[in-house]
Structure 1
Amino acid sequence: MRLHREGYTIMLTTGLVLLALNLLAYFYLFSDNSLAIVLLAVASLILFGLIVQFFRVPNRALTLHDAQIIAPADGTIVVIEETEESEYFKERRRQISIFMSPLNVHVNRNPVSGVVRYFKYYPGKYLVAWHPKSSTENERTTIVIQAKNGVEVLFRQIAGAVARRIRWYVKEGQPVEQGQEMGFIKFGSRVDVFLPLDADIKVNIGERTKGGVTVLAELKD
């Protein structure tokens, strides 16, 4: 396991603030109250541990298959439905949505190998990630990758009420590999994936996913 570079500044800042707070408590605020000092130290360690675990990147054997759509994020499947995709395809698609809690790994990965045909970033609101309008009104990115067989897969990084910072590492025209890191969303969010209607869905509502590992669907030839 390693720690993601997106967390370096936050972890360092948090560590320094907590260290300063504990030193202040030890020498001045609670110098005569050992219980308060111990409780503050324990609370500080727990808080720092939670922040560190948020930026963890576990070692995984990635699933690599040209005919399969792999989960771009860790989380829970909250939507599987046929819907109108109005930004790029402008036609009906099969949508799979993954909700990412603050306890999930928050690295985002390319669901297929291919070429990025479309990318756009939208500033927006911060509705809760499971709100029906979050995919069209929240801060978000839209990425379309054309797979090697010519099929295009669209997915969106969506900010939530807590997640207010989206990072991405792709651009239009860039070749990408399945399972490769394409971005990061800080502190809880959602990822939507839009597939052809004839895609063979392999997951169910409520199922937990592992980014880069779980097979969401298989594409038809």
Structure 2
Amino acid sequence: MKNALDTVLVPIHREGYPFITLCALLGFGIGFLWSPLWFAGILLTAWCVYFFRDPPRVTPTRQGLVISPADGLVQSVSKAEPPPELDMPAKPVWRVCVFMNVFDVHVNRAPVDGTITKMEYRPGKFLNASLDKASSDNERQSFRIEAEGGKELAVVQIAGLVARRILADVETGDDVKAGQRIGMIRFGSRVDVYLPPNVVPMAVEGQRAIAGETVLADMGGPKGKEGPRDGATR
């Protein structure tokens, strides 16, 4: 019984409480005006709670693994140049795009152990995040991360059709651990991972990814201590 409840009663991201309160008040108000709308208000509030859930994750700890930063569908695995604002070499590298619909967890996590060497926010459009040109045209928050061993990769939060705010929980110069929370995007969006040169992705298009758990690639680092890492402790 306890395990069943744990899958439902998960933590809520702090950014969600104002929205949950607003939905609850709105639901109460419309229900007060017309009682049949009570049910609609309850559904709206329940969905808002569900959207802002922040479940714990157990992250693989072997050095060299690149872990998915987002829940969702691996929409594209192809080569592309990293965002120019990160000042990375303008050469195509493997890019893994994870699309989050409004029912996925929207808390994003660091894909590797490393240091955030640069962060850049760029305003833009709010095209459907499933479109390829969303990578260049949409509002985005980009992270340049130097992993252990000096290999660099990029993580890009991309706003979608209904997303209107990208949130970052880290700053330039911060050290991060794989599976650590680094931010979230509100309401439907996408996260791209640009792998280091010569690193080939293990993920495939159409695969479901779980933030902090699904392995996207292996950078070939030496094996460290095996075992799980509980992302909930961060």
- What TM-score, normalized by structure 2, do the two folds share? 0.86
Instruction: Provide the residue aligned with 2:50 in structure 1.
Output: 53
Answer with 71-80 or 41-50: which moved more.
41-50
CA distance in 2, matches of 1:59, 1:186: 19
Q: After TM superposition, list the pairs within 5 Å mapping 1:12-23 onto structure 2.
A: 12-23=21-32
Q: CA deviation at 1:42?
A: 2.0
Of all paired residues, the percent bearing the same amino acid is 38
Structure 1 residue ranges (4+ consecutive) displaced by more than 3 angstroms after TM superposition: none
Letter paired with 1:132: D
Q: What is the number of residues matched between the two proteins?
A: 209
Q: CA deviation at 1:85?
A: 2.7
SS of 2:76's equivalent? strand
> Deviation per CA, 1:57-80, whole angstroms, max 9, x where unpaired?
112222223210000000000110
Instruction: Provide the residue aligned with 2:186 in structure 1.
Output: 186
User: In 1, are the aligned partners of 2:99 and 2:130 still within 8 Å (CA)?
Assistant: yes
User: In 2, are the aligned partners of 1:75 and 1:208 still within 8 Å (CA)?
Assistant: yes
User: In 1, are the aligned partners of 2:30 and 2:38 still within 8 Å (CA)?
Assistant: no
CA distance in 2, matches of 1:86, 1:24: 50
CA distance in 1, matches of 2:51, 2:103: 6
User: In 1, are the aligned partners of 2:57 and 2:211 still within 8 Å (CA)?
Assistant: no
Instruction: Provide the residue aligned with 1:151 in structure 2.
Output: 151
User: In 2, are the aligned partners of 1:198 and 1:220 still within 8 Å (CA)?
Assistant: no
> Deviation per CA, 1:101-159, whole angstroms, max 9, x where unpaired?
00000000000111111110011110110122211111101101101111001010000
- What TM-score, normalized by structure 1, do the two folds share? 0.90
Is residue 203 of structure 1 aligned with residue 203 of structure 2?
Answer: yes
Q: After TM superposition, list the pairs within 5 Å mapping 1:87-102 onto structure 2.
A: 87=84, 88-89=87-88, 90-102=90-102
Gaps of 5+ in 1: 27-36
Instruction: Provide the residue aligned with 2:227 in structure 1.
Output: none
Letter paired with 2:48: I
Q: Highest Rg: 1 or 2? A: 1
Q: CA deviation at 1:91?
A: 1.2
Instruction: Provide the residue aligned with 2:229 in structure 1.
Output: none
Instruction: Provide the residue aligned with 1:113 in structure 2.
Output: 113
